[in-house]
Amino acid sequence: MTRIALRPAINEAAEVLDRAGVRSPRYDAEELAAHLLGVQRTRLALVPLVEPELLERYRDLVARRARRIPLQHLTGVAAMGEIDLAVGPGVFVPRPETELLFAWTLAFLETLPHDHRPIVVDLCTGSGALALAVAHARPDAEVHAVEVDPDALTWARRNADDRIADGDTPIVLHADDATDPELLTDLNGRVDVVVSNPPYIPEGTPLDPEVIDHDPRRALFGGADGLDVVRGMLPVVTRLLRPGGAVAVEHDDSNGSELAALLGKNGEYSDVVEHPDLAGKPRFVAATRTTPR
Ligand SMILES: C[S@@+](CC[C@H](N)C(=O)[O-])C[C@H]1O[C@@H](n2cnc3c(N)ncnc32)[C@H](O)[C@@H]1O
């Protein structure tokens, strides 16, 4: 059977996606082709010709992406740190910006003395992204992950099982509410780092179709100012952290200074720092649990 050039099909797909309003049309067109071919996007040039049947499947996939189904729901994977996570309907798709929170967590863990096994808690874990990426990078850490939504937990369990199969240290998954005053009481005052990418979008914020139609609502919105879940979580975080331990919480562009103010309020935290993302937008706040005098 005559094989057909792939590149013109990718160019056409990029135009289709651009017209549909997709934010990164060429990247997505290439990712979908790479996914079907089972190669990395950067190696597509090594596959100049494809079977007509593959092109047909490619056009189907592009048509679905043009209907604003998230790219990661079509490929079935999203990345965090060094690992891939299975994602799809029912779970929040991990975002590249959360890599900053992940990198901060690893850097903080590096500063700890080597006199104990570090304990990390990921509140609102979704697919397990942060918890599993930390467990992969730091096999010496004891990592706990908390998630309230049963559908998200199903994805987190699947990802946790995949990581164990790949040889990573198992994490401990907790089906629980991150604002529960009784959450993880056996870890009181013993946790080195709490990380969280919680629901933080202010209610009513306009969102792309990929987000509003496909990420679970509970993963997105955090009340009028976006901080409802964070406010509920903070007493838990404060109770869990050891003196000198740290917390880092991702937030919306609009509510970073309020989050920093919440952390700075009671004198229970020092070094409250607002961290920007690569575009210079405020992205997460980190703070250190004070040592009692
Ligand atoms: C923005 S998503 C982030 C998921 C993951 N941390 C990530 O970065 O991909 C927020 C997650 O918090 C969960 N969630 C919302 N409220 C929660 C609560 N009160 N306790 C625990 N999890 C909660 C949602 O179900 C969702 O999975």
At residue 291, the pLDDT reads 80
Measured at the CA of 171, the angle between CA 77 and CA 268, to 5 degrees, comes to 105
At residue 186, the pLDDT reads 98
**Binding-site annotation, residues:** 147, 197-200
Q: Which residues line ligand 1 (CB under 6 A)?
A: 92, 94, 98, 124-127, 129-130, 146-149, 152, 177-179, 197-199, 216, 218-219, 229
At residue 192, the pLDDT reads 98
HSE-up of 22 (CA within 13 Å, CB side)?
24
At residue 278, the pLDDT reads 85
Structural contact between residues 200 and 227, judged by C-beta atoms closer than 8 angstroms:
yes
Q: Which residues of the chain register pLDDT less than 50?
A: none
The closest of 61, 82, 80, 77 to 17, measured between CA atoms, is: 61
Nearest alpha carbon, ligand 1 atom 27? 126
Pocket test for ligand 1, best of 83, 84, 143, 148 (most atoms within 8 A of CB): 148
pLDDT tens digits, one per residue of 260-282: 999 998 899 999 999 998 889 99
State the pairing for strand pair 241-250/282-289: antiparallel
Pocket test for ligand 1, best of 149, 157, 182, 214 (most atoms within 8 A of CB): 149
Ligand 1 midpoint to CA 18 (Å): 31
Domains of the chain, start order? 4-67 (1.10.8), 80-289 (3.40.50.150)
In this structure, what token pair is assigned to residue 193?
């780092």
At residue 266, the pLDDT reads 80
At residue 103, the pLDDT reads 98
